[in-house]
Amino acid sequence: MLKLNLSDIMCEHPITVKETVSVGEVAHLLFRYRINGILVVEKDDKSKLIGIFTTTDLLRLIDEALAKGIHREEALKNISKKLVGDLASKCVVALQKDTKVSKAVATMHKKNVHTIPVFDKDKLVGVVGRHDILNITFHYY
């Protein structure tokens, strides 16, 4: 595992959504594909990453809606209609495809992230999630 690069374990075809997609649609994708985060790209250039929307972001929004008291249902409907590009985390932790898996583990731990986009210079080429790393880690032991 220590000698592997991210290119050896990454998903080469990450699920992306345009910034104009609704939070409700993204929630369905997160659950359908059982992923922790989805990459958000520009509406006119799907190779341009603008952020990540995660299940943690979704839970935060649901919590805010449920705190609305008697208007919870309306608040949930309003959240589901919002554009994911407006709510995605913009401070993205990304790594290069030749980065060692051990560095990705340390990065995930120190930065408290679970989904890392993988680039080949400035081109998005994949994504690595915590499950990818856990799967490969326990494969060796």
Does the domain at 6-139 match CATH 3.10.580.10? Answer given as: yes
Rounded mean pLDDT of 3-17? Answer: 93
Looking at every residue in the chain, the average pLDDT score rounds to 91
Dihedral in degrees, nearest 10, Cα atoms 99, 103, 104, 110: -140
CA distance 10 to 126: 6
Rounded mean pLDDT of 39-45? Answer: 93
Rounded mean pLDDT of 131-135? Answer: 88
Rounded mean pLDDT of 113-141? Answer: 88
The fraction of the chain above a pLDDT of 70, given in percent, is 96
- What are the sequence ranges of the domains in the chain? 6-139
Enter the DSSP assignment of 48: S
Structural tokens at position 107: 């990065």
Whether the Cβ atoms of residue 17 and residue 40 lie closer than 8 Å to each other: yes
* pTM, 2 dp: 0.88
CA distance 118 to 114: 13
